[in-house]
Amino acid sequence: MKSLADYPSPDVPPLDVLLDDLDNGTLEERRNAAYGLGKHDDTNIAPRLISLLFDSDLYVRVYAIQSLRDLKDARATLPLCELLDEPQPEELILSNVTRALAAIGDARAVPTLIKTLDSTDPFTRTNAAYALGEIGDPSAIPALQLLEHDAVVPMRYHDDGGVSGAPAVNANAMKAIAKIRGEIPKIE
């Protein structure tokens, strides 16, 4: 069994190998295939990746989201939004979906991302604000302005004693507004 680490970077397995691994491989091979498909820069595989968004394995789903982010194919926008609308989405799914929607830049994601700003999780609010800034649709400004006083600093405390954080929610919201207004450049 080969993993992506067995292929010299930036080389990845051929598409036919990855597609076969998705259909017939072990769980690890399926995960590697979902990840590797996005490295091919071939939007013809977007429908296959979209079908993986609802796979039973969390990491197959995450790698499919990351591959769709890399492909920047707008066909993934609405299926990705469906993941944000799930009753109790996984945190790992939420963060990857918001980053993918930011990279794709399709304004059809704006209503879903605006709803996501109401999350009780500050990381989710921060990521949604970031995505809205990258998409750049002015209709998001009023919702982002509501976060002006949301000074919560997202922090995660890990089992190993480590801590990770992000800028305050309001800082990300104000940065998103500045991006939408063209006051600071978007990340390319």
Which residue would you say has higher pLDDT here, 171 or 53? Answer: 53
- 158 band by pLDDT with thresholds 50, 70 and 90: low
pLDDT tens for 103-144 read 999 999 999 999 999 988 888 888 999 999 999 999 999 999
* Among 132, 111, 119, residue whose Cα is nearest residue 176: 132
pLDDT of residue 43: 87
178 CA to centre of own chain: 22
Q: Name 157's bridge partners.
A: 163
Average pLDDT, the chain: 87
User: Any idea which residue has 């800028």 for tokens?
Assistant: 167
Quote the CA–CA distance of 38 and 18 in Å, as a whole number.
11
Quote the CA–CA distance of 159 and 38 in Å, as a whole number.
31
Structure tokens at 147: 């976060």
Pick from 59-63, 69-73, 119-123, 161-165: least confident: 161-165
Above 90 in pLDDT, residue 9?
Answer: no
**What is the per-residue burial (b if ≥16 Cβ within 10 Å, else e) of 33-63?**
bbbbbbbbeeeebbebbbebbebeeebbbbb
pLDDT of residue 7: 47
